[in-house]
Structure 1
Amino acid sequence: MNGSWQLAFAVLGLALPGIAALWEFVLVGRKRLGYRVQMDTTARDERALPYAGVLQQMQRTNGGPLRDPSFVLLRIENSGWAPIVENSYLAPDRGHAGIQVKCRGRRVVGMVVTELSRNELRGFFTPSSDDQHPTPHVPGLGVTDGVIELPKVKLNRGDHYKVLAVLEREESFTDEEFPEPEVVASIVGGVRRGKIKKTEYYPFASKPVRWVLALLVMVSAVQSILTFTRHDATAAPLDCATGTLTLSGSTAFAPVLQEAAKQYHRTCPDAFIPITNDTFHGSVSGLDALAAAGRKAKPTGSQGLGDRLAFSDGPKSDGRPQLLPRPVALSLFALVVNKDAGVQDLSLKQIRNIYAGTITNWSQVKGNNVPIHLVSRNPGSGTRTTLEHQVLDNKPLLAVTANDCTALDVNKPGRCEVSDTETLLNTVASTPGALGHSEVGAATAHDDVQQIRIDGYPATLEGADEGAYPYWQTEYAYTYGEPPANSLAAGFLRYLANEVGKDIIRSHGNRPCAELAKPLLCRPS
């Protein structure tokens, strides 16, 4: 469907609410007299019950009991926005009644006004000296030939009154159920010939307006279908950029970036962010690759690279002045052990002694009698650097005892290194007594390893915020120089900071920097 049809539906979608409001509040709502039958019930044999109270005392004027008594509570209201005055009623000027209520099959025994929205309305129910047929003991109400007559009451917008009528069955009426009361009245200048309308079924809006609202929903649905089925270039959001973006860096943050890249491509079909098994090799490796690409491209002036980003667990080291940081998320990391170690909680002191080599068997920390095998990431890993700085008090790791983790001696302690998070988790799961480190999202998804609490605290954002959990780090995105505002690198960074990007970051156990008290620092409060 072409653009003219889309424009037509958009205009129709804007016009329909205006038409509905005009109809309801200017045309239909101009002057409207309404009624509600709020009660229509029979008493029948209830008057014989011991708790019947006043029902036992109700009798005809001749002293006999009521025949199949019933009660009708009627509410008369001004349901429009214009006032209704005495001259508004379409009835003879000298006539007493403005509204008639017919209750077929029943005779009226008595009536009373039970509620007035304003006390000033009470005067309309007081008979005048020339009233030809007032009902005794019920001022202002009348009954003629079995028909209840209600006076011409002035009603401002929202005004109402209620009348309760007591009735009994006529001898000639043999039907089981009584018909619903019939209310007859008309006003001058009202819609639909000014007839009184029953309002209890649509107090919010009249039936025509509800049809208009239903049509509006249909128009909105068609617009949505048109939006989601378009495949031309104009369907992309204004912030979409085109081209190819190369990502590198942290393997811990890689799952977030993989999902974000996939979602961004769905939103912006002309943007390509290829990710393979060789895309991420660690924080330092990613920064080196970004710096090398910048030196090769030699961007001039203030413009930086618009087609490359590197992600690092923590800030860069000195020596790369062209790389500019942008905090993206607060990332959580966790220590993980092979399940046969028999431990779930370690104190910070015990962890430091394990990595220092003074604790070499899990039995020394109340675990099983299994040698401890340390599985670590290669140098340059942000997860490893954070472990050394924030958990081990800046102490370096022990020397590697096996270049290949499969060559570790199961009967004595040792340490080996791997290149990425997935390999580390698989190695810990398959190596008896192994202890390693990983970002929380990947560790949680791996069923064959056990996460370690530190001093009783699990790896949670709340624990990091309170300063109780120490193993966390700020995730940075690095650019080479300042990328052009319309570049794919800049667009992807904005995407990570908007609602969809933040949802993806949260889903992997991290916290978007924008949600912290100081987003530019992106550290626990």
Structure 2
Amino acid sequence: MSGVSWESVIAVLGLAVPVAAALWEFFLAGRKRLGYRVQMDTSARDSASSSGPEAGVLQRMQWDGAHLGDPSVVLLRIENVGWTPIVEDDYVAPANDPVGIRVAFPGRRVVGMVVTECSHTVLRDFFAPGTPGLGSTDGVITLPKVKLNRRAHYKVLAVLDRVPGFTDADFPDPEVTAGVVGGVRGGTIKKTEYYPFASRPVRWLLAVLVLVSAAQSVSAFARDDAVRAAAPLDCAKGTLYLSGSTAFRPVLEAAAKQYTKTCTDAEIPLTGDSFQGSVAGLDTLAAAGEKAKAADGQGLGNRLSFSDGPKSDGRPQLLPRPVALSLFTLVVNKDAGVRDLSLDQVRRIYAGDITNWKQVRGNDLPVQLVSRNPGSGTRTTLQQQVLDGEPLLAVTASDCRSLDAKTPGRCEVADTPTLLDTVASTPGALGHSEVGAATAHEDVQLVRIDGYPATLEGADEGAYPYWQTEIAYTYGEPPADSIAAGFLRYLANEVGKDILRSRGHRPCAELDEPLLCRPSGS
């Protein structure tokens, strides 16, 4: 028993109790089962003590012209409370004895009896006048061997009178004698009761289940500290420094928050300087690796950089791990009056051929291009995937707030949040962003390309061009037990994938070619 935990014992008990109850109810107690209820047993004394003009009616009852001495009325219900039918041969009685049930009334004699109610009309045939086994003698009523389907019943109403010489104030309960072959507890007829909530065994079962649930809850709280102490596989101790894409920053902030909440020995500080763009992040990672002067084959275990797309040549120490497929979108100031552009129109706008939105059936406003600084993965992807490798127009304003509202121009900003705010506040502005951040910004309009919104389905079909693979880079191969390796595993597990999807990205593991992490149509 030393290897068996209390949780296992409680769990087995919680399963065994309802199973045992079901076996009892359906296979043991659910066999042939004959029962009865005394639904009424009232005397003349009981009725006389009640109020009403006819309260003493029982005292005025007569039999053969003579008043009854101490009359009483009993209503008895006979029922099949088992799960199988009861037939004539099931009654425990000699084959030549037509009586199936005997009801005795100690201290009383039977004045008269009648069957008052049958659950089904066919039962009345068993109580026709002259039926063998039906009748009464002195203080005993005899009932025939009645066929009873499951839940079938009939009622017997009897008028009784006190036996001379019986001096007790109260009459004993009726004594019902019967039995069925194959019934529980020897097949003896049992007195049944009506429970408006649940029967006594069911109430005991509920009580046991409540105790089992309470025990499991107490056990869960008691082992909470132990569970926290045993960190998940992805957890590691130490401080992790992240850098890179501003477009991917919201994902990393959410993932870092959840990771440090689960892994209490980990720290992931995020500051405004952590994310300056994909290229800047790769430069930071390379510089940290060179400064650490790690031994050959030893990678940094405390740094990761995230890039919108692959790195350029010249950084052989940086190793890629595809994380997600990121979708990007063009965003426009709502005053421009544009919701959809063809790919050709987009290229002509960025080439300077279209300078006013009215040229593409928008409003009469000059086009103001708001772009990310060089080194931005979002900008690089725009040039490579959408503009067919063409460079952007020259910057006309070093500060976006100084753009001339009457003439077209272009300015640059450092990060995605600033770009979206600038597009929202600049009439005629056009910019670019990852989908999650753009969707969350209520003051910009997302632009479709050739009628296609930024969706994975559009990218898979080759119809939507503005996408990129989000790649995590390490300096060398990080140790397996390092916080960098643990955080990468965390992004690939269910919690990490949920965070990626919630920000509009698609986990690489869900794509047809996870290692390439590209749309199927590309």
- In the superposition, relative to structure 1, how do residues 197 and 470 fare at CA in structure 2: closer, same or farther (>3 Å)? farther
Moved more, 233-242 or 189-198: 189-198
What CA distance in whole angstroms lies between the structure 1 residues aligned with 2:378 and 2:35? Answer: 72
Q: Within 5 A, what are the aligned runs for 1:270-289? A: 270-289=265-284
Partner residue of 2:114 out of 107, 110, 120:
107
Once the two structures are TM-superposed, the CA of residue 403 in structure 1 deviates from its matched residue by 1.9
- In the superposition, relative to structure 1, how do residues 314 and 166 fare at CA in structure 2: closer, same or farther (>3 Å)? same
Q: Within 5 A, what are the aligned runs for 1:142-157? A: 150=145
What CA distance in whole angstroms lies between the structure 2 residues aligned with 1:235 and 1:147? Answer: 73
Which letter maps to 1:496?
A: L
Moved more, 22-31 or 514-523: 22-31
Alignment deviations for residues 254-313 of structure 1 (CA, whole Å, 9 cap, x no partner):
001001101111101100011011111111111122222222223335442211111111
- In the superposition, relative to structure 1, how do residues 279 and 109 fare at CA in structure 2: closer, same or farther (>3 Å)? same
Once the two structures are TM-superposed, the CA of residue 22 in structure 1 deviates from its matched residue by 6.8
Which letter maps to 2:364?
A: N
Question: SS of 1:248's equivalent?
Answer: strand
Which letter maps to 1:207?
A: R
Q: Is the Cα contact below 8 Å between 1:111 and 1:138 reproduced in 2?
A: no
What CA distance in whole angstroms lies between the structure 2 residues aligned with 1:319 and 1:184? Answer: 100
Partner of 2:492: 497
Q: Is the Cα contact below 8 Å between 1:28 and 1:191 reproduced in 2?
A: no
Question: SS of 2:299's equivalent?
Answer: coil
Partner residue of 1:520 out of 485, 508, 515:
515
Moved more, 243-252 or 464-473: 464-473
Which letter maps to 2:388?
A: D
What CA distance in whole angstroms lies between the structure 1 residues aligned with 2:198 and 2:516? Answer: 56
What CA distance in whole angstroms lies between the structure 2 residues aligned with 1:209 and 1:150? Answer: 35
Once the two structures are TM-superposed, the CA of residue 497 in structure 1 deviates from its matched residue by 1.4
1:431 matched to 2:438? The reply is no
Once the two structures are TM-superposed, the CA of residue 336 in structure 1 deviates from its matched residue by 0.9
Partner of 1:207: 203
Alignment deviations for residues 326-372 of structure 1 (CA, whole Å, 9 cap, x no partner):
22111111111112212111111111100000001111111111111
What CA distance in whole angstroms lies between the structure 2 residues aligned with 1:168 and 1:405? Answer: 99
Question: SS of 1:492's equivalent?
Answer: helix
Q: Within 5 A, what are the aligned runs for 1:505-516? A: 505-516=500-511
What CA distance in whole angstroms lies between the structure 2 residues aligned with 1:351 and 1:140? Answer: 102
Q: Is the Cα contact below 8 Å between 2:34 and 2:179 reproduced in 1?
A: no
- In the superposition, relative to structure 1, how do residues 163 and 245 fare at CA in structure 2: closer, same or farther (>3 Å)? same
What CA distance in whole angstroms lies between the structure 2 residues aligned with 1:193 and 1:293? Answer: 88
Once the two structures are TM-superposed, the CA of residue 463 in structure 1 deviates from its matched residue by 2.8
Partner of 1:20: 17
1:351 matched to 2:346? The reply is yes
Moved more, 296-305 or 260-269: 296-305
Is there any run of 5+ residues in structure 2 with no aligned partner, and where?
40-74, 105-111, 162-174
Q: Is the Cα contact below 8 Å between 2:399 and 2:412 reproduced in 1?
A: yes
Question: SS of 1:279's equivalent?
Answer: coil
1:223 matched to 2:230? The reply is no
- In the superposition, relative to structure 1, how do residues 516 and 232 fare at CA in structure 2: closer, same or farther (>3 Å)? closer
Question: SS of 2:304's equivalent?
Answer: strand
Q: Which runs of 4+ in 1 moved over 4 A?
A: 25-30, 33-37, 72-76, 83-89, 91-102, 109-115, 134-153, 164-172, 182-189, 191-203
Q: Is the Cα contact below 8 Å between 2:119 and 2:154 reproduced in 1?
A: yes
Alignment deviations for residues 461-487 of structure 1 (CA, whole Å, 9 cap, x no partner):
333333332211111111222222211
Q: Is the Cα contact below 8 Å between 2:324 and 2:505 reproduced in 1?
A: yes
What CA distance in whole angstroms lies between the structure 2 residues aligned with 1:491 and 1:138? Answer: 90
Alignment deviations for residues 362-396 of structure 1 (CA, whole Å, 9 cap, x no partner):
11111111111111111111111111111112211
Partner of 1:408: 403
Partner residue of 1:377 out of 347, 372, 378:
372
Question: SS of 1:352's equivalent?
Answer: helix
Partner of 1:59: none
Partner of 1:332: 327
Alignment deviations for residues 179-211 of structure 1 (CA, whole Å, 9 cap, x no partner):
xxx9987777639999476799769x8332222
1:32 matched to 2:29? The reply is yes
Partner residue of 1:304 out of 282, 299, 302:
299
Q: Which has the larger radius of gyration?
A: 2
Once the two structures are TM-superposed, the CA of residue 435 in structure 1 deviates from its matched residue by 0.7
- In the superposition, relative to structure 1, how do residues 20 and 368 fare at CA in structure 2: closer, same or farther (>3 Å)? same
Q: Is the Cα contact below 8 Å between 1:108 and 1:166 reproduced in 2?
A: yes
1:367 matched to 2:362? The reply is yes
Question: SS of 1:469's equivalent?
Answer: coil
Partner of 2:287: 292
What CA distance in whole angstroms lies between the structure 1 residues aligned with 2:35 and 2:310? Answer: 72
What CA distance in whole angstroms lies between the structure 1 residues aligned with 2:152 and 2:244? Answer: 80
Q: Is the Cα contact below 8 Å between 2:331 and 2:447 reproduced in 1?
A: yes
Once the two structures are TM-superposed, the CA of residue 460 in structure 1 deviates from its matched residue by 2.6
What CA distance in whole angstroms lies between the structure 1 residues aligned with 2:376 and 2:504? Answer: 19
Q: Is the Cα contact below 8 Å between 1:27 and 1:191 reproduced in 2?
A: no
- In the superposition, relative to structure 1, how do residues 143 and 373 fare at CA in structure 2: closer, same or farther (>3 Å)? farther
Partner of 1:77: 82
Is there any run of 5+ residues in structure 1 with no aligned partner, and where?
41-69, 116-124, 128-133, 154-159, 173-181
How many residues get paired? 451
- In the superposition, relative to structure 1, how do residues 168 and 189 fare at CA in structure 2: closer, same or farther (>3 Å)? closer
What CA distance in whole angstroms lies between the structure 2 residues aligned with 1:405 and 1:101? Answer: 103
1:443 matched to 2:438? The reply is yes
Q: How many percent identity over aligned positions?
A: 57
- In the superposition, relative to structure 1, how do residues 193 and 444 fare at CA in structure 2: closer, same or farther (>3 Å)? farther
Once the two structures are TM-superposed, the CA of residue 508 in structure 1 deviates from its matched residue by 1.0
Question: SS of 1:206's equivalent?
Answer: helix
- In the superposition, relative to structure 1, how do residues 208 and 418 fare at CA in structure 2: closer, same or farther (>3 Å)? same
What CA distance in whole angstroms lies between the structure 1 residues aligned with 2:283 and 2:102? Answer: 92
